[in-house]
Amino acid sequence: MRILVVEDNADLAEAIMDRLQGEGHVVDVERDGEEANRLLRHARFDLVILDVNLPGRSGFEILRSLRAAENQVPVLVLTARSQIEDKVLGLDAGADDFMVKPFDFRELVARCRMLGRRRSGAATNTFVADNLTFDRRSKRALVDGRDIDLKNKEVQLLEIFLNNIGSVLSKEEVADKLYSYEEAPSLNAVEQHVTRLRKKLEATPVSIKTVRGLGYLVYVDEG
């Protein structure tokens, strides 16, 4: 997933970013509420981790702005407040989940996985199609019970495609999900990653089709 972390505590923001990147996610960090609100107007993310007390604009204001614009990106709210009124306020504003600081990073990662599954319509962490198994938690892909040697970007790309089976994704959309702002993505790099992943999936029913002028369509061959 491509995740935006909006947190003004630099140490905590870096710790969250490091942990999520270690889990195979693409992570951007913003520490100012006003800047985060502007960013979310035009950038697309799979998940937003949103602190409440921010300079410039509060997390609740950002959340209300998102939902008013009909942006349905999952939002996990982080706050130092434990009062039930604040939780109700956040949930009523459109939050999908709520965690109170301090928190256990293992729970944060698990909640991120849950919100990712919910958005893609997956009930569990495991995707199975005939001889292919992909575990979203361990980031392992197996064919006939054997590990496929996937590089980090190939794992991220596989997860992007499995979360969008039956939908056409443009190269630009794939690049947006595959790279953070600190990276320097190119459409040629996307094509190279797709070519390598397609080759490694040849013995599975999962196919990546190039739709001329549009992008990529991933489907499961039932035959």
Q: Which tokens hold the place of 183?
A: 């990276």
Query: What is the distance between the alpha carbons of residues 35 and 39, in angstroms, rounded to a whole number?
Result: 6
Of 99, 120, 141, which residue constitutes the final position of a domain? 120
Q: What is the pLDDT of residues 7-42, one digit of tens each?
A: 999 999 999 999 999 888 999 999 999 999 999 998
For residue 22, what is the domain's CATH number? 3.40.50.2300
Reading the block at residue 48, the tokens are 């937003």
Residue range of the domain that includes 87: 2-120
Cα–Cα nearest to 23, from 152, 160, 127, 182:
152
- How many domains does one find in the chain? 2
In one letter, which amino acid is 73? V
Q: Select from 100, 120, 140 the last residue of a domain.
A: 120
Whether residue 115 sits in one domain with residue 146? no
Q: The domain that contains 154 carries what CATH number?
A: 1.10.10.10
- What is the per-residue pLDDT across 36-80, written as a single tens digit (0 to 9) for each? 999 999 888 999 999 999 999 999 999 999 999 999 999 999 988
Q: Mark whether 7 and 115 lie in a shared domain.
A: yes
The string of pLDDT tens digits covering residues 164-192 is 999 999 999 999 889 888 887 788 899 99
Residue 169's DSSP bridge partners are: 216
